[in-house]
A and B are shown apart, each in its own frame.
Chain A
Amino acid sequence: MEQLALFFALLFLTVLGFILGKGRAVALSGHSDQPLHSRLPYYGLYTALWCGLPSLLIMAGWMIFEPQIAEMLVASQLRDSDASITPDQLTLYINDVVNLASGGILSREPDAALLSAADNYSLFRQISYFAMAVVAIAFSLLALFTSLKKINPALRARNQVEKVVSIIMMISSLIAILTTVGIVFSLIFETLRFFDKVPFFDFLFGTHWSPQTALRSDQVGGSGSFGAIPLFAGTMLITFICMVVAIPVGLLSAIYMSEYAGKKFRAFAKPVLEVLAGIPTVVYGFFAALTVAPFFRESGTLLGLSVSSESALAAGMVMGIMIIPFISSLSDDVMNSVPQSLRDASYAMGATKSETITKVIIPAALPGIVGAVLLAMSRAIGETMIVVMAAGLAANLTANPLEAVTTVTVQIVTLLVGDQEFDSAKTLAAFALGLLLFVVTLVMNVVALKVVRKYREKYD
């Protein structure tokens, strides 16, 4: 937590800069015939920005690169003493040194060499921390004095502060783009490494999924197989069940709320749907696993059917409940934007309310409703916690909703939870599945958003 202390020290200097800068401007305004260019606080902000921003950037950069440099130092020391070491041993050794220095768990008994390396390492970290503190504070103080000196009535402090602020705004609007780029690149990078180990077509069209790879080459179960068809089938089965529940219930409740319900009923039912939308998915998962699934299994036994305790039916139905408010609020919006004139025309022809809805409003709102359903489907495909808790792990290729199936998201979670070596096919497979999930949902979202937008333009 030494870094936090430095951070607060820099923050203090920034505040100090503001006070001193403003004070200097106040003093200037007192006995100078030339009026100040900007209002007083801008001189304070000008000094504060100079004091805080560069030194905080130095600190951030230092903290990102310093651990790597320290590890490289350890590595080069080790290579000097033992030239024959393999890269794997080297990583392990470095991990041990770092853990020893920070009080973590070691993979071996510490020997003298390890202890001295760890001492060196923590000494380097300490020196580096002090160097960072000295550099950052020195820079901050230097900036404080030079910017204070620069303050004079002609200094265009406001313009300069505004320039910095607008640059900060631009950078923050880039973060959204960077996130997408980060997602795409991290997924593609790992996926390419996965396809080095497993052929592309085996992954996409294989029908056998058992990702257990052996730790030793002589173990039974050898290489694992990564045919993802059972996962796609399971995902589609659960999504299908989910939509069978969510579309009729969501659509009908949207119709009832927007066309029939009185004010009082709306005031009661709308919050209920909002609460349903706000419940965390892990709660739905618990509900599915502990209440709905046992209920289905027992009713199945009564009817003489064998229902798996992790049936697709339970997971899909609970997911459908989760999606209901999503569909109902989106289609409520699109139906409300159908012009009143269409309704009036239909009533004038003598149609009843339900005839107007089914024959006029729904056809007119259909593109928007399709968009809503697509958005809901992409959400159902990407939904994780309900299926992790209520659907199975075994990859069965079946269309029977009473059996256990697994989904893409479940497999991502099971492949990545727990400690694994990072470059095994097993962990990389999770990234390949993640990329697939990202691409599929992205396409659905883009199409859905386009459809909805086009539809809105039609009636605006």
Chain B
Amino acid sequence: MTDNTPPLKINPTLLKRRNAAEKRFRFYGLAAVMTAVLVLCLLLTSIISKGYTAFQQTYILVDIRLDAESIDPKGTKRVEDLAAASYKGLLRNALREQFPGIEGRKAKRSLYGLVGSAADFDVRDAVLDNPKLVGTTATIAVKSSDDVDSFYKGYIPRDVPESNRKIKDRELAWLDTLAADDRIVKKFNVDFFTNGDSREPEEAGILGAVVGSLYTLAITLALCFPIGVLTAIYLEEFAPTNKWTDLIEVNINNLAAVPSIVFGLLGLAIFLNFMGLPRSAPIVGGMVLALMTLPTIIIASRAALKAVPPSIREAALGIGASRMQTVFHHVLPLAMPGILTGTILGMAQALGETAPLLMIGMVAFIADIPGSMSDAATVLPVQIYLWADSPERGFVEKTSAAIMILLAFLVVMNAIAVILRKRFERRW
């Protein structure tokens, strides 16, 4: 047989053009992925560069004469008496002695403004730590105000006209004297991790929000893990296939895509207004988030149950186990790693959720650290939102630092999920 096909004619210019188009297309794809990578880097660097300074706090060393008469007039030396004394006046005296010759209320007020509004508690804590200081003159580090703190972190530039600067020339001179005396020190900001919220940036901490988040997530987990797993078992292992179960399935898939703010409206209308549960409480927040994460957990659990091969079930049924025993003794333990992975991812999603919690009043300003599930509380993402809304310069770094802590929690949770998946999930 002879080969009749005409020889393939290759048009070199066309081929060149097509190859160029191929290269271009490939480049677009790479550029798209790189855009995503770049944006992530940008986001993280912008947050870290704004936030890392929040872990430090500027302190001013002040020589304070701790008069025994004014602190502990009765000479009891009891801790309660030392704690109840007023240290504000002593601190102010010390500041005045540091800069003698300051006259006028306004000048004095701006001098007192160098230290934070709760700096007298630093003095008190130092005295409580070491009661022997009473009656002596001690050098105590007190917190500087947020403006001074921002100035030393470089957020308030020195070389702008005085009217545009929060630190005025006079204060600048005082600070320079203090700095020349080595009286300005930076320390690790422990209070950021041990305080609740505050109107003063230098006093604000995230412990209240972290505790609130823990309570809220505890409620969410306690509600949506059992309900989600039981639902998944029912739908996957027991439910007959009919219209009713079909409806439940469609319904769960749609719930997973309902905007989270709608769950907040549900919580407001049903839990707060109808059932009369307390506003701003972690218990209500936990319930709302549980309803929101339920579809995620059900879908993940069903996938995990589906992955267990039927042979396991048949073996158990074959030696006389009931259907319930088959599921709870054999299928569920094998599906557990997958279910737990899904649950942790659902919890991570709940931890980062803000919008529905705004609806049920968890945006209130709460300085106390919540002590129970029904106390008014706020959670980490809402705290971030609140601080991001605050006008003070000092809150910008606090916000970024709170974001870093929230992201750290999320990274840990996701890492646990990945480890769980890698180590325990079996592939059949």
Contacts and interface: CB of A to CB of B under 8 A. Distances in A.
A324 B39 CA distance: 11
A324 B406 contact: no
Counting contact residues on chain A (CB < 8 A from B), the size range is 35 or more
A302 B252 CA distance: 50
B266 A183 contact: yes
B25 A287 contact: no
B260 A186 contact: no
Contacts of A176: 231, 248, 251-252, 255, 294-295, 298
Given A352-B22, A441-B257, A177 B251 contact: yes
A283 B227 contact: no
A276 B39 contact: yes
Interface string B225-246: 0110011011100110000000
A381 B262 CA distance: 12
Give chain A's interface secondary structure class: helix
Interface stretch (A163-171, A201-209, A339-347, A394-402): A163-171
A229 interface: no
A173 B248 contact: yes
A14 to B, nearest CB: 15
A416 interface: yes
Interface stretch (A85-93, A131-139, A144-152, A245-253): A245-253
A284 B37 CA distance: 15
Contact of B32 (A158, A256, A382): A256
A269 B265 contact: no
A278 B406 CA distance: 12
B275 A280 contact: no
A413 interface: yes
B324 A287 contact: no
Contact of B406 (A186, A280, A287, A409): A280
A86 B301 CA distance: 53
A438 B238 CA distance: 31
A272 interface: yes
A291 B258 contact: no
Which has the most chain B C-beta neighbours within 10 Å: A166, A269, A286, A289? Answer: A286
Contact of B259 (A67, A272, A384, A431): A384
A379 B363 CA distance: 23
A172 B231 contact: yes
B385 A282 contact: yes
A175 B227 contact: yes
Interface in B350-404: 351-355, 358-359, 363, 372, 381-382, 384-385, 388-389, 396, 399-400, 403
The contact size tier of chain B is 35 or more
Interface string A224-252: 00000000000000000000000011111
A290 B352 contact: no
Nearest to B328: A165
B29 A385 contact: no
B67 to A, nearest CB: 38
A278 B348 contact: yes
A256 B35 CA distance: 13
B25 A165 contact: no
Most B CB contacts (10 A, CB to CB) among A172, A273, A353, A379 go to A172
A173 B29 contact: no
Nearest to B21: A354
Nearest to A453: B253
A431 B269 contact: yes
A259 B260 CA distance: 34
B265 A352 contact: no
Interface string B319-357: 000101000000000000000000000001001111100
Contacts of A169: 230-231, 233-234, 238
A315 to B, nearest CB: 14
A84 interface: no
Contacts of B30: 256, 260
A446 interface: yes
Contacts of B407: 279, 283
A290 B50 CA distance: 10
Given A179-B266, A190-B269, A445 B257 contact: yes
B234 A172 contact: yes
Given A67-B276, A173-B230, A287-B46, A355 B26 contact: no
Contacts of B406: 280, 283
B199 to A, nearest CB: 17
A289 B403 CA distance: 14
A27 interface: no
B47 interface: yes
Contacts of A158: 322
A280 B269 contact: no
A256 B29 contact: yes
Contacts of A353: 22, 25-26
Given A190-B269, A382-B259, A252 B247 contact: no
A281 B400 CA distance: 14
Provide the main secondary structure of the chain B interface. helix
A434 B294 contact: no
A101 B168 CA distance: 51
Interface string B18-59: 110110111011111101110110110011001000000000
B22 A417 contact: no
Q: Which residue of B21, B226, B359, B400 has the most chain A CB atoms within 10 A of its CB atom?
A: B359
Interface string A249-274: 11111011101110000000100110
B259 A437 contact: yes
Nearest to B37: A272
A283 B257 contact: no
Given A175-B231, A255-B29, A352-B18, A449 B254 contact: yes
Contacts of B127: none
B230 A172 contact: yes
Given A172-B227, A287-B47, A291-B46, A182 B28 contact: no
B268 interface: yes
A162 interface: yes
Nearest to B26: A260
A437 B33 CA distance: 32
B355 A173 contact: no
Given A68-B276, A283-B407, A384-B355, A278 B414 contact: yes
Nearest to A270: B33
A434 B354 contact: no
Contacts of B308: none
B273 interface: yes
Contact of A186 (B266, B291, B382, B414): B266
Given A176-B248, A179-B291, A252-B32, A441 B258 contact: yes
Interface of A: 1, 64, 67-68, 158, 162, 165-166, 168-170, 172-177, 179-180, 182-183, 186-187, 189-190, 248-253, 255-257, 259-261, 269, 272-273, 275-276, 278-287, 289-291, 321, 324-325, 328, 352-355, 357-358, 375, 378-379, 381-385, 388-389, 409, 412-413, 416-417, 422, 430-431, 434, 437-438, 441-442, 445-446, 449
Given A183-B266, A283-B406, 9 more contacts: A169-B238, A259-B29, A261-B33, A282-B382, A283-B384, A409-B261, A417-B363, A446-B254, A449-B254
29 contacts: A173-B230, A176-B294, A180-B254, A186-B270, A252-B32, A256-B33, A260-B26, A278-B348, A278-B410, A280-B406, A285-B388, A286-B47, A287-B43, A287-B47, A324-B36, A353-B25, A354-B22, A358-B25, A381-B259, A382-B261, A388-B385, A409-B259, A409-B261, A412-B261, A413-B355, A413-B359, A437-B259, A438-B258, A445-B253
